[in-house]
Amino acid sequence: GAVVSQHPSRVICKSGTSVKIECRSLDFQATTMFWYRQFPKQSLMLMATSNEGSKATYEQGVEKDKFLINHASLTLSTLTVTSAHPEDSSFYICSARNLAGGRETQYFGPGTRLLVL
């Protein structure tokens, strides 16, 4: 089946640094990818929708200058947390939408756990 990978799986960084998280669809092309954030014991909250070749669409309350999204190809979207602070520590999950054959299928990455010291 289709696989979505995320790299890194875990990252620890100092406050003030920037962290880039990659999301790749390994065996299909994804014109749309999504970025989610999950705090401990909470549901996933959609942060933004990443569209290949165009600007990302951010959900209300998500700072686009802090969470930079780039969807440069049909198999790669990146999320950069700029000037990270401890409150940005969270579990970040991406998903890729596969519309092949006219049937929508959503594949989730394994997540990236970010800890900002």
Applying CB under 8 A, which of residues 64, 73, 85, 104 lies at the interface with other proteins?
104
Rounded to a whole number of angstroms, the minimum distance from the CB of residue 85 to other proteins is: 23
Residue 82 as a binder of other proteins (CB under 8 A): the answer is no
Name the residue among 99, 104, 100, 78 with its Cα closest to residue 24: 78
Residue 50 as a binder of other proteins (CB under 8 A): the answer is no
- Shorter beta-carbon distance to other proteins: residue 62 or 82: 62
Residue 75 as a binder of other proteins (CB under 8 A): the answer is no
Q: State which amino acid sits at residue 51.
A: N
Residue 11, beta-bridge partner list: 114
Measured torsion, CA atoms of residues 44, 67, 112, 40, in degrees rounded to the nearest 10? -40
